[in-house]
């Protein structure tokens, strides 16, 4: 006879969150680390950290089986809770997930939100039961093209450098090898002068590609909060800076967070990312996460060229469930209309 499990949701500390995150064997990203929560708090958002606990009905033993870190977003078009790349639940227990979804909606009401949103890392393939749990709780597909990446490109860096090079696309491998011939000088740092290099190139990239950039203050705050866990890799040719990449590190992976470049005859962007991959290996990371990509056949997608560049380094594509929303007030539909329009306008 199996005993029934009782679940509870309790606030946890950053230390508890970090310990669970480090030990969690499933899909995870830095968006569920304490430093990311501290960063969002520094931007003026309210950050929440909760543990999901399980207790058998015939036992007094209580065990934390999951965590969730999320923020209250005070947007004009609709105040909402957003849970990025979570919750993290051991063995993805459907009953535990259903319990959490119900509690998450309750917390949304308590925080006077218009809706709640979850951008999970539940893998799309074979996720019918998980999706059923969302639907049974009344969640619906979010109208956005991107909240946090749902299709990512990830490289296993437990391989040797030679094996990583061997598994690259032929043209990428050629450019990476060419970048090491001494004509390109690279640097790594997270000081004011490193941000100045990045931001000058970033401004040029925004003008060239016509996209909505991060605010400079946001990036400055990231450098302050993440400390040594964020580094800017920059490349120069004949004293002219040509490429710069911001990489975030956690206990298991490195993340290609932002990139900027200008035209160069030499493979400067390949050089900065190859340096970042090697630094990730030095830190003991097991993965290099290139973050979001579009489908290989979406040639009209704004990310097509960047996605092809990322895929050239080798790795695998990971697909996750689409972001899920639960409307709490009628104002949700104003947000739905705005986000649907933006998706169409940006050709995503």
- 257 and 223 within one domain: yes
Rounded mean pLDDT of the chain? 92
Domain of 122: which CATH number? 3.40.630.30
pLDDT digits (tens, 9 = 90+) for 237-286: 999 999 999 999 999 999 999 999 998 999 999 999 999 999 999 999 99
Find residue 68's DSSP bridge partners.
Answer: 50
Q: How confident is the model at residue 110 (pLDDT cuts 50, 70, 90)?
A: very high
- Residues with Cβ within 8 Å of 319's Cβ and at least 6 positions away in sequence, in order, are 123, 124, 125, 150, 151
What angle (nearest 5°) sits at the alpha carbon of residue 171, between those of residues 166 and 173?
35
Find residue 261's DSSP bridge partners.
Answer: 243
Give the DSSP per-residue string, 160-183. Answer: -HHHHHHTS-HHHHHHHHHHTSSS
Contact 144, 323 (CB under 8 A): yes
Look at the chain and report how many structural domains it folds into.
2
Range of 138's domain?
5-145+322-345
pLDDT digits (tens, 9 = 90+) for 170-201: 999 999 999 989 899 999 999 999 999 999 99
Instruction: Mark residue 18 as left, alpha or beta (left: phi above 0; alpha: psi -120 to 50; beta: remaining).
Output: alpha
- 182 and 71 within one domain: no
- 157 and 118 within one domain: no
- 126 and 13 within one domain: yes
Question: Which burial class, exposed, middle or buried, applies to 222 when counting CB atoms under 10 A from its CB (0-12, 13-18, 19+)?
Answer: buried
- 297 and 164 within one domain: yes
pTM above 0.85, yes or no: yes
pLDDT digits (tens, 9 = 90+) for 311-322: 999 999 999 999
3-state secondary structure of 151: strand
User: Which pLDDT score is estimated for 127?
Assistant: 83
pLDDT digits (tens, 9 = 90+) for 200-247: 999 988 877 776 777 899 999 999 999 999 999 999 999 999 999 999
């Amino acid at each position: 006879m199996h005993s029934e499990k009782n679940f509870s949701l309790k606030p946890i500390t950053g230390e508890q969150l970090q310990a669970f995150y480090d030990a969690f064997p499933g899909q995870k990203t830095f968006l569920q680390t304490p430093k990311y929560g501290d960063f969002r708090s520094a931007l003026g958002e309210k950050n929440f950290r909760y543990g999901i606990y399980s207790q058998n009905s015939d036992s007094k033993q209580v065990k934390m089986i999951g965590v969730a870190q999320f923020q209250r977003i005070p947007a004009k078009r609709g105040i909402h809770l957003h849970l990025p790349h979570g919750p993290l639940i051991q063995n993805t227990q459907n009953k535990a997930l259903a319990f959490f979804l119900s509690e998450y909606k309750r917390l949304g009401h308590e925080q006077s939100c218009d809706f709640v949103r979850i951008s999970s890392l539940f893998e799309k393939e074979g996720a019918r039961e998980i999706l059923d749990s969302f639907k049974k709780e009344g969640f619906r597909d979010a109208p956005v093209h991107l909240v946090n990446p749902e299709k990512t490109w990830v490289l296993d860096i437990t391989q040797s450098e030679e094996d990583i090079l061997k598994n690259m696309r032929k043209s990428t491998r050629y450019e990476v090898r060419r970048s090491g011939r001494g004509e390109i000088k690279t640097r790594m740092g997270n000081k004011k002068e490193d941000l100045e290099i990045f931001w000058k190139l970033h401004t040029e990239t925004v003008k060239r590609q016509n996209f909505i950039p991060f605010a400079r203050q946001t990036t400055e705050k990231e450098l302050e909060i993440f400390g040594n866990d964020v580094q800017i890799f920059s490349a120069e040719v004949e004293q002219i800076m040509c490429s710069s990449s911001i990489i975030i590190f956690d206990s298991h992976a490195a993340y290609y967070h932002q990139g900027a470049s200008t035209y160069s005859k030499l493979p400067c962007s390949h050089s900065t990312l190859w340096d970042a991959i090697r630094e990730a290996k030095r830190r003991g990371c097991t993965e290099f996460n290139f973050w979001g990509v579009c489908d290989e056949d979406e040639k009209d997608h704004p990310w097509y060229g960047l996605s092809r560049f990322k895929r050239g380094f080798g790795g695998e594509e990971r697909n996750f469930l689409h972001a899920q929303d639960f409307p709490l007030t009628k104002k949700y539909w104003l947000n739905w209309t705005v986000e649907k329009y933006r998706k169409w306008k940006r050709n995503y």
